[in-house]
């Protein structure tokens, strides 16, 4: 074989240097720990919330025909997570209305009294006429209500 020229030697040394650097990086990589690389806490919390809703539906079945169907997760506080459009404002009882955000026993009672006096709600905007319900409260509860 013939002798290598100086430029070939430099190219060969550069290639060997790159190869050596690659081996060193590959060897050091297992010792570098990325803590946030496998953070599934958000997905876990969503799974728990969705499986709780499913567990409730499977355990208790669907609501009877006389009562409005309510969908919420099994938590002990008032901040139960309602599904969108899960409470019919024209058929809901006081307990069901109290599940809504910003609606307590007194406001739920006012809704029932208004419904008894004026008849079924034709639009959700009519709720502003109920004592203790203003535009802000209406916007908070609107996603959970439906009118049939």
Task: Give me the pLDDT at residue 81, please.
Answer: 73
Alpha-carbon distance 134 to 104, whole Å? 14
Over the stretch 76-123, which tens digit does the pLDDT of each residue have?
445 567 888 899 999 999 999 999 999 999 999 999 999 999 999 999
Q: What angle do CA 110, 56, 71 make, to 5 degrees?
A: 35
Closest to 75 in 3D by CA, of 54, 52, 51, 55: 52
Whether 16 shows a pLDDT value over 80: the answer reads yes
Q: What is the pTM of this model?
A: 0.48
Closest to 138 in 3D by CA, of 13, 129, 85: 129
Phi-psi region of 80 (alpha: psi -120 to 50; beta: other; left: phi over 0): beta
Task: Give me the pLDDT at residue 45, please.
Answer: 80
Helix, coil or strand: residue 145? strand
Fold of the 41-146 domain: DNA polymerase; domain 1 (1.10.150)
Portion of the chain with pLDDT greater than 70, in percent: 73
Q: Which residue has the higher pLDDT, 130 or 56?
A: 130
Give 115-118 contacts, CB < 8 A, sequence gap 24+.
Answer: 115/89, 115/90
Whether 47 shows a pLDDT value over 90: the answer reads no
Give 22-25 contacts, CB < 8 A, sequence gap 24+.
Answer: none
pLDDT mean over 19-26: 91
Helix, coil or strand: residue 146? strand
Beta carbons within 8 Å of 125's beta carbon, 6+ residues apart: 138
Q: What pLDDT band is residue 36 in, cutting at 50, 70 and 90? A: low
Q: List, in sequence order, every beta strand (DSSP E) within 1-148.
A: 87-88, 145-146
């Amino acid at each position: 074989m013939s002798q290598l020229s100086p430029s070939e030697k430099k190219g060969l040394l550069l290639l060997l240097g790159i190869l050596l650097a690659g081996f060193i990086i590959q060897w050091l990589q297992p010792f570098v720990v990325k803590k946030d690389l496998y953070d599934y806490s958000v997905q876990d919390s969503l799974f728990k919330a969705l499986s709780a809703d499913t567990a409730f539906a499977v355990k208790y079945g669907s609501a009877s025909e006389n009562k409005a169907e309510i969908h919420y997760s099994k938590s002990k506080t008032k901040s139960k997570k309602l599904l969108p459009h899960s409470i019919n404002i024209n058929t809901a009882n006081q307990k069901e209305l109290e599940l809504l955000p910003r609606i307590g026993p007194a406001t739920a009672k006012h809704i029932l009294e208004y419904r008894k006096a004026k008849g079924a709600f034709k639009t959700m905007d009519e709720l502003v006429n109920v004592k203790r319900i203003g535009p802000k409260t209406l916007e908070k509860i609107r996603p959970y209500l439906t009118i049939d």
